Chain A
């Protein structure tokens, strides 16, 4: 068991086998190599990616396919190699979320750089989809702006 201090959730005890390892960190957070995943709540499509070493660093993520049903990308050989991926079914895919000005309806997902986790060895990487047309900001609720005038 590992004790992890967090600002949001207090002190958490997590099994070593549940710790997610980002060998290269995440862009802008290259020194953050270990995280745990904490569900927002049992039914929720949202999870937190909480740093194991920095108590106040937690990203919000979602399963992108739940909001963007046609989201797709291919994982190139270098990523397959570095995460030692065998089967697609063993992968977890998340998108990091940005929430401008506390407005949940304006939340955006970074589909250009999904987080790929190999659940078999808990190795993970934020993969940059260089050749895709996805961006760092896709609205989860594209209708939110259109409905604004009604309220």
Chain B
């Protein structure tokens, strides 16, 4: 892992086409602007974590659930 120290308005280049700009720092909050090609996916880390966690829960389903009475029209 590479650890860098940057000041507001300074940048980090990742490869030739990703630029991370440190916009401002206020207390414990850092605003970051990222310029990257459209095909690069950028997520807040916690969103990805939330989906990992939900997928783990979704994988632990009981074997013998009865869904025969659980159609969209049984929505009452």
Q: Which A residues have a C-beta under 8 Å from some C-beta of B?
A: 7-8, 26-29, 40-41, 44-46, 57-60, 66-67, 76-78, 81-82, 96-99, 102, 104-105, 107, 110, 112-113, 126, 128, 130, 136-137, 140-143, 147
Q: How far is the CA of A137 from the CA of B51 in the complex (A)?
A: 10
* Chain B interface, number of residues (Cβ within 8 angstroms): 33
Contacts of B61 in A (CB 8 A): 58-60, 97-99
- Inter-subunit contact B63/A112 (CB<8 Å): no
Q: Which B residues have a C-beta under 8 Å from some C-beta of A?
A: 38-44, 47-48, 50-59, 61-63, 65-72, 74-76
Contact among A57, A67, A105, A126 with B51 in the assembled complex (CB-CB below 8 Å): A126
Contact among B40, B41, B59, B72 with A57 in the assembled complex (CB-CB below 8 Å): B59
Q: How far is the CA of A141 from the CA of B67 in the complex (A)?
A: 13
Contacts of A40 in B (CB 8 A): 67
- Inter-subunit contact B59/A113 (CB<8 Å): no
- Inter-subunit contact A96/B75 (CB<8 Å): no
Contacts A59-B58, A102-B65 given; does A128 touch B43 at CB 8 Å: yes
- Subset of 25 A-B contacts with CB under 8 Å: A28-B52, A45-B72, A46-B67, A57-B59, A58-B61, A59-B59, A59-B61, A60-B58, A60-B67, A66-B72, A77-B39, A81-B39, A96-B55, A97-B58, A98-B61, A102-B62, A107-B70, A110-B51, A110-B58, A128-B47, A128-B51, A136-B51, A136-B53, A140-B75, A141-B75
